[in-house]
Chain A
């Protein structure tokens, strides 16, 4: 399978815990994006990378959120001190260039109790 993969698919955690999600993009894609989607809404942009460089971060991304793409391949998104409002689907997408189609992974559904 050469699509975007994400792990874990589901995560249930208690408020205040830290969680980390991983995204493996399509292998030849330079750009990697993170989005968050809550029920009844479209995905909202969080951040994106071109190779290993993080080029933009949304104002939605508080200082509890951090993302890395250390070797320009896979990426991790960490949420520290989770809050109930962080419960959402976290989506990763990748594309070959800035104007190209973004292909989405299956998402990680986070539930914060």
Chain B
């Protein structure tokens, strides 16, 4: 089992709809969770961080964390073509290590 798993996609969503991205992780003791956006040929850019169970909202983005199910998700409301990118889920603290472990990313396309 991979330490951090994401569906690689591609995920196609019409403009204005809600995009839902999911991530599961292997270590129940993991401490902090991040969503990064990466445009083709560019480096990862932080979208959201979340540390405790529940929802965290920032503008059109909502991160959801469920530690019991070892599941973290990202919702993008009112999707825009500029949201088309690869979304990387990253987990810190797997097996106590202070480094980020990334999923392989989900490629999201917003169709006008």
Do B102 and A48 have beta carbons less than 8 Å apart? Answer: no
Given contacts A33-B100, A42-B104, A56-B99, 18 further A-B contacts (CB under 8 A): A31-B98, A41-B104, A41-B105, A43-B102, A44-B102, A45-B99, A45-B101, A55-B98, A56-B98, A89-B43, A91-B44, A98-B92, A101-B46, A102-B100, A103-B46, A104-B36, A106-B42, A106-B43
Offer 21 A-B interface pairs, CB within 8 angstroms, sorted by A.
A31-B98, A33-B100, A35-B100, A40-B8, A40-B105, A41-B104, A41-B105, A42-B105, A43-B88, A43-B100, A45-B99, A45-B100, A55-B98, A56-B99, A99-B92, A101-B34, A102-B100, A103-B46, A104-B36, A104-B43, A106-B43
How far in angstroms is the closest Cβ of chain B from A38?
10
Do A48 and B46 have beta carbons less than 8 Å apart? Answer: no
A: contact size bracket? 20 to 34
Do A91 and B88 have beta carbons less than 8 Å apart? Answer: no
